[in-house]
Amino acid sequence: MTGRFYGVGLGPGDPELITLKAARIIGAADVVAYHAGVNKQSYARGIAADLIPDGVIEEELRYPVTTGSTDHPGGYAGALADFYEESAQRLATHLAAGRTVALLAEGDPLFYGSYMYMHDRLSSRFPTEVVPGLPAFLAATATTASPLVRQTDVLTVLPGTLPEPELARRLADTDGAIIMKLGRTFPAVRRALAASGRLPHALYVERASHPEERWMPVADVDETSVPYLSLIVVNGDSLNGSRSRVIGELLSTTTLPATEVAELLVVGLGPGPDEWLTPEAAAVLAEVDHVVGYGPYVARVPQREGLQRHASGNTVEVDRARFALDLARRGERVAVVSGGDAGVFGMAAAVFEAAEDERYADVPIRVVPGVSAVQAVAALAGAPIGADFAVLSLSDRLKPWAVIETRLRAIAEADLVLGIYNPASRTRPDQIAAARKVLLEHRSADTVVVVGRDVGRAEQSLTVTTLGDLDTDVIDMKCLLLIGASHTRVTASGRVWTPRWVQ
C-alpha cells in the first residue's frame, strides 16, 4: 500500500477562507509539507498553522534561490530543477512508506502554484487528489468591491513577468484583467497599464484577506515597496465603457463637415517579424489613434497610450472597412492593418469596396505597402520569382471554384511561376489536391515546387520538392506555395531560381 498525495489549496491568507475539506485533510495527514522562500517563513504554513496536528511530520521545502544569481552550473533554471527533484524524492519516500502527504499551497494549487511541480513528478506514481482553494484575485476583487467581469466580458489573468510590450497589448485587448507576480516587475507593469489606457481604473491590492491587507489606485503606489504577494485588478467596465462611447458616437453621427474628415490609412505589416515592418508603416502606426483589423494582425501592433484597438474575425473584411471609414469620417486617425502587403489579398481592396458607398466619398484613402508573403518565401528559397510570375488564391469564398480552375489552366499554359495563397483550410482541405491535378495536366511531374510554412516566424520551414512528389495532405493555411515554370532550376545547394530569359 502506498500513501495518498494531496495538493491542498489554502486560499489567499485568511484562515477562515480555508475550505472544510482542506481543513479535514490537513488534520488527518501523516505528513504536512510546504514551500518556503529563502530566509523566509512559509506563508502557506502560517495560514494553516492552527490546523496542523501536534506531532505530525513536517517537511519544509525551502527554495535554494528565488531571485538574483546562483552559482549552480545550470543557472537559475538548473537550480530549481534540482530542487524540485530533491523535494519530490523527499515526499515520495513518505508516500512509498504508506503515509498520507498533504502539500500546502496558498491560493489554489493549480493556479501559479509551487504544488504543480510536485504534481508533475508524483501524480503518475501515487494516488493524488487536488483540493481547490480560493485564488487571491477573488479575495482582492471582494476587498475592492470591483465588478470584475459581466455578461460576455473576457477575463485575462496575466503574469507581470511578461515583456512590457506584450503585457500592454494584452491589457488593451481584454475586458477585465488580473496581473499577478509583481514585486520587481511593478514599474514595467505600471508603464504597460498606462500604454494600454487602463491605468486610471487599475487597483493595487497587497496581501488580500490578510490582516496587513491594503489597496489603492496603481497610480498612487510607491514602486519601491511592492511585495511579491500583491496583484492588480482591472475591471471590465473600464474598457467596455470606452468601447460603448466610440460605438455610440459612430451610430449617432450622420453628416460631418468635410474639414473633420481624416485620411484612412491601410497598412501592410509584412509576413511576421518586426524587422520586416517598413519604416513608413512603423511611422504611420505610431501616429494613429485607432487600429482596425483581423485579431492576429492587430495583436502585432505595439500598444501605446491613447491607441484603441478594434479586432474582429477573418470573414468580415467589408464590415471592418466600413467601421474604419466611419471613424475616419468623424476625424479619427485610423489604420486598417493587414499581414504581408495590404494590396495582395489584403484589406486594401475591401476598404475600396466599402468606400464605393457615397457616404465615404470624401474620405481620402492611402495604402502603405508592406513585404508580401510571396516575396518572403521567394527570398528564403532564392529567386524563384525572378521572371514573370502570377499569384492566385485557392479560396473560393469570394469566387467560384470553376473560375479558379480556369485561371490555374491559363497560368499553367502560359508557363508562369505561380504563387498560391490560401492553399487549404479545415473547411476546404481538398482544393490543393485538385489544383495539383489541374497543373499536372499542363506541367511535368518534375516541375519545381517550393512550400514555405510560417516563413519569418520561429517555426518557419522551407521544403523544395516537385509537383509529382508534392504531399498535399500536409498543406494548410500556414503555407504558401511557389510552383515553378518549366525553366525554374534548383542549384546543387538547394537554392531555387528562375532565369529571366526563356529559350
DSSP for 326-388? HHHHTT--EEEEESB-TTSSSHHHHHHHHTTSGGGTT--EEEE----HHHHHHHHHEETTSS-
CATH number at residue 477: 3.30.950.10
CA 423 to chain centre: 24
The answer to whether residues 45 and 52 touch, using CB atoms and an 8 Å cutoff, is yes
Q: What is the pLDDT of residues 156-207, one digit of tens each?
A: 999 999 999 899 999 988 999 999 999 899 999 999 999 988 999 999 999 9
Q: Determine the 3-state secondary structure of 121 from DSSP.
A: helix
CATH number at residue 14: 3.40.1010.10
pLDDT at 246 (0 to 100)? 45
Q: Say whether pLDDT at 249 is over 70.
A: no
Indicate the DSSP class of residue 321. Answer: H
Q: How many domains does the chain have?
A: 4
Task: Identify whether residues 108 and 18 lie together within a single domain.
Answer: yes
Cβ-based neighbours of 13, under 8 Å, separated by 6 or more: 43, 47, 106, 136, 139, 207, 208, 209, 210, 213, 229
Q: Say whether pLDDT at 254 is over 50.
A: no
Task: Identify whether residues 54 and 118 lie together within a single domain.
Answer: yes
Residue 178, domain extent: 137-238
Q: Is residue 250 part of a domain?
A: no
Question: Rounded CA gap, 501 and 503, in Å?
Answer: 7
Task: Identify whether residues 204 and 323 lie together within a single domain.
Answer: no
Identify the residue with better confidence: 227 or 48.
48
Q: What is the pLDDT of residues 119-160, one digit of tens each?
A: 999 999 999 999 999 999 999 999 999 889 999 999 999 999
Q: In what order do the strands lie in the sheet with 5-9?
A: 57-62, 31-36, 101-105, 5-9, 128-131
Q: Is residue 77 part of a domain?
A: yes
- What is the percent of the chain with per-residue pLDDT over 90, rounded to a whole number? 80
Confidence of residue 241 (pLDDT cuts 50, 70, 90): low
Residue owning grid cell 504531399: 471
Q: Is residue 151 part of a domain?
A: yes
Q: Is residue 246 part of a domain?
A: no
Which of 133, 160, 178 is the last residue before a domain boundary? 133
Task: Identify whether residues 266 and 349 lie together within a single domain.
Answer: yes
Q: What is the pLDDT of residues 105-123, one digit of tens each?
A: 999 999 998 999 999 999 9
Task: Identify whether residues 124 and 146 lie together within a single domain.
Answer: no
Which of 351, 368, 385 is the last residue before a domain boundary? 368
Q: Is residue 39 part of a domain?
A: yes
Q: Report phi then psi at 336, rounded to 5.
A: -95, 125
Which of 368, 396, 431 is the last residue before a domain boundary? 368
What pTM did the predictor assign? 0.73
Q: Is residue 163 part of a domain?
A: yes
Task: Identify whether residues 127 and 156 lie together within a single domain.
Answer: no
